[in-house]
Chain A
Amino acid sequence: MADIDAGTLLFAAIFTNNILLTNFLGLCPFLSISREVRSSLGLGVAVVFVMTCTAVINYLVYYYVLVPLHLDHFRYIVFIIIIASFVQLVEISVERFFPALYFVLGIFLPLITVNCAILGASLFLIIREYTLIQSIAYGAGSGIGWMLAIIAVGSIREKLQKTARLPKGLEGPAITLFITGIMALAFMAFSGMIQIQ
């Protein structure tokens, strides 16, 4: 499906095909970080930035280096190396030039290398044969959608910690999974608007 315009795709990636709530990607950091809103926001911003940039870089590398050389089977290795080195580069430059920002985002950056949502977005845009513009929209949209989900769940969990009395065993990951499930149900309401697959 390559005939969706970028704006629609951006909207679809945020709401109807939310990468966390419909594709289950990026769940590990999601479950451990979503305890409070502040850190959710920090990680969310970092994910949006890294996901958009790596989507573009991976797109260019795949179509202009790997495909002409018939090396497309190596895309997993190449993508993961690109993501890891990009994150490292961002970390170094943020630390050097924006120390204040580093103080806020610093600890989240290394976490991003193993965030499957980043690699997942890059793999989806290859499989669905997006163009460059669509890839940018998809990368940004997926990142924003992920951030939205983690902030929403983070705020609910923060409230829960203060007010709710949960049954034994339900606290922690179990209740987070239930909240996420209900959130996914809510997001399913958007799915009638646009379908991308």
Chain B
Amino acid sequence: MPKPPKKIEIFKAGLWKDNPVLRQILGICSTLAVTNLMVNTLVMNAGLIFTLTMSSLTVSLLRTYTPMRIRMMVQTLIIASYVIIVDIVIKAYLPSISEALGPYVGLIITNCIIMGRCEAFAKNNPPLASFLDGIAVAIGYAIVLMAIALVREPLGFGTLLGFRVMPDGFTPWTVMIMAPGAFFMLGLYVWIVKAFFPQPQEILKSG
């Protein structure tokens, strides 16, 4: 087994170097849909951070007892259990947001990032490192989604977290509330990051 990487390195990789959304374009399915309102984004992010961190920790704790052949099934069940907890908590304390999020909370299960981190990191690393990796990746993910919501809500509704931020004469851009707005924003961010901060192997490839 390779030596576990340094804690600070894990954090840096999750937040920026291997940022799940901008670098690997993973797990955007269920969560792009909620970025038209900042409140929904925050709730969804909280759910995702909890699920990802706890799943990484659990998979790592069970890593020596899980037979290799059925590990995907075990991981899915672990993830699904945490998602059910998140779903019940949101339903109980934030019923109106639960309604707005609809099936997307449940779809955290099939978010490829969670499975990806369990497969790539947690199954070979000790619990503490996996826990930190989970937090770092989840926060890296949350930041990107908040950046998208930060543009979509003011332009689409003229508000931010429900407060009016745009001047009175502002005409909302309907396209920002609809699906294309999210695709364009994410495309733009990916483009900027790839153009100005290329990864080492990309420099080699294009040079």
Count residues of chain B with CB under 8 A from any CB of chain A: 46
Q: How far is the CB of A67 from chain B (nearest CB, A)?
A: 16
Sorted from nearest, which 9 A-B pairs have the closest CB atoms? A169-B195, A181-B183, A177-B187, A169-B194, A123-B103, A116-B110, A174-B191, A174-B190, A116-B29
CB of A181 within 8 A of CB of B106, answer no
Write out the residue numbers on chain A whose beta carbons fall within 8 Å of the beta carbon of B111.
Answer: 116
Given contacts A76-B87, A116-B111, A127-B102, A181 and B81 within 8 Å (CB-CB):
no
Interface presence of A2 (CB below 8 A): no
**In the bound complex, how far is the Cα of B33 from the Cα of A124, in angstroms?**
14
Most buried by A among B84, B187, B195: B187
Q: Are A80 and B179 in contact (CB under 8 A)?
A: no
Near A by CB (< 8 A), chain B positions 70-105 give: 73, 76-77, 80-81, 83-84, 87-88, 102-103
Q: Which residues of chain A have C-beta atoms less than 8 A from B159's C-beta?
A: none
Determine whether B196 belongs to the interface, using a CB cutoff of 8 Å to chain A: yes
A sample of 16 cross-chain residue pairs with beta-carbon separation below 8 angstroms, ordered by A number, consists of A21-B179, A23-B33, A23-B179, A25-B30, A114-B112, A119-B106, A123-B107, A124-B102, A169-B193, A169-B195, A172-B194, A173-B187, A177-B190, A184-B179, A185-B175, A188-B179
Q: Known: A27-B28, A80-B80, A168-B195. Is A181-B107 also a contact (CB below 8 A)?
A: no
Write the chain B residue with the least CB distance to A79.
B106
Q: Is B2 an interface residue (CB 8 A)?
A: no
Closest residue on chain A to residue B183 by CB atoms: A181
Contacts A25-B29, A77-B84; A119 near B107 (Cβ below 8 A): yes
CB neighbours of B76 from chain A (8 A): 80-81, 84
Bound state CA distance, A117 and B111, in angstroms?
11
List chain A residues, Cβ under 8 A from B84. 73-74, 76-77
B109: CB under 8 A from chain A?
yes
Residues in chain A near residue B190, CB distance under 8 A:
173-174, 177
In the complex, the answer to whether A170 meets B195 with C-beta atoms within 8 Å is: yes
Would B106 and A76 count as touching, CB distance under 8 A? yes
Most buried by B among A75, A116, A120: A116
Docked pose: A115 CA to B184 CA in angstroms: 22
Contact with B along A160-197 (1 / 0, CB 8 A): 00000001111011111110111011001000000000
A10 CA / B184 CA spacing, docked (Å) = 28
Shortest CB distance A152–B (Å): 14
| B residues near A31, Cβ cutoff 8 Å | 25
How many Å from the CB of A23 to the closest CB on chain B? 6
Chain A, range 12-31, C-beta contacts under 8 Å to B: 21-28, 31
